[in-house]
């Protein structure tokens, strides 16, 4: 019946129908081989773009966290700087020699004379041998003897406290002499120290 219908159609109608069928076929081919793959690729690209944006946000958060950590670390290091600079280190394998180079200008400026420096024994931290580091931070004990007045003795302590606030005074011994300006003064100082020490 369809064949009869087509045969009875006018020539122009036949041409229009054939043209429509051809256009439909071409449209189907274009959709199958062009539009649908392009749509699939577009969806895939969109998913990849979303993943990239997600990764970028994570990276930005990580960078922000890294900047915050870096800033906090810089502040910590800045706060630790006075303590690091105030640590006593050996000079010619001697803490007392280093103390002399740092304290003698203050001592002489205070009016004390004939200074003498020596190392006092100090206890290492009681750490177990397997985990004990070769270098320890500790408090070096420095003995300083000099001669001068009571005022000079106090002046030296004030100057030392201002310049080296980490130093602690363990003991002060003033041995009376005939001359008030020539008292024998003995300080024992404790100074945070590092370096030059090896544990066996």
- 65-76 pLDDT, tens digit per residue, is 777 888 887 787
Domain boundary among 54, 83, 112: 83
Q: How many domains does the chain have?
A: 2
Maximum average pLDDT range among 64-68, 115-119, 122-126, 189-193: 115-119
- Cβ atoms < 10 Å from Cβ of 189: 24
**Tokens (6 digits) for 148:** 């001068």
Domain assignment present for 90: no
- Average of per-residue pLDDT values in the chain: 78
The pLDDT of residue 173: 93
Domain assignment present for 200: no
- Cβ atoms < 10 Å from Cβ of 88: 25
Q: What is the mean pLDDT of residues 120-140?
A: 62
| Sequence-ordered list of residues with C-beta below 8 angstroms from that of 109, at least 6 positions apart, any chain | 159
Q: How confident is the model at residue 118 (pLDDT cuts 50, 70, 90)?
A: very high
Q: Higher confidence at residue 88 or residue 138?
A: 88
Q: What is the DSSP-derived secondary structure letter of residue 136?
A: -
Domain, as residue range, for 110? 95-193
Same domain, 27 and 65: yes
Maximum average pLDDT range among 144-153, 177-186, 190-199: 144-153
> pTM for this one?
0.56
**Tokens (6 digits) for 121:** 């024994």
Same domain, 131 and 72: no
Same domain, 75 and 99: no
């Amino acid at each position: 019946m369809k064949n009869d219908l087509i045969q009875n159609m006018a020539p122009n109608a036949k041409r229009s129908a054939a043209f429509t069928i051809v256009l439909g076929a071409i449209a189907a081919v274009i959709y199958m081989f062009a539009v649908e793959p392009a749509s699939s690729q577009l969806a895939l690209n969109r998913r990849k773009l979303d993943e990239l944006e997600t990764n970028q946000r994570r990276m930005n958060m990580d960078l922000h966290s890294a900047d915050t950590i870096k800033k906090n670390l810089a502040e910590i290091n800045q706060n630790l700087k006075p303590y690091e600079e105030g640590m006593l280190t050996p000079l010619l394998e001697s803490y007392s020699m280093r103390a002399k180079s740092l304290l003698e200008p203050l001592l002489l400026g205070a009016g004390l004379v004939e200074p003498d420096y020596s190392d006092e024994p100090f206890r290492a931290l009681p750490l177990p041998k397997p985990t004990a580091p070769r270098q320890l931070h500790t408090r070096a004990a420095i003995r300083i003897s000099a001669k001068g007045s009571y005022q000079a003795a106090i002046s030296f302590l004030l100057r030392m406290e201002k310049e080296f606030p980490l130093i602690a005074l363990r003991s002060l011994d003033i041995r009376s002499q005939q001359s008030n300006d020539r008292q024998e003064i003995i300080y024992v100082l404790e100074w945070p120290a590092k370096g030059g020490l090896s544990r066996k």
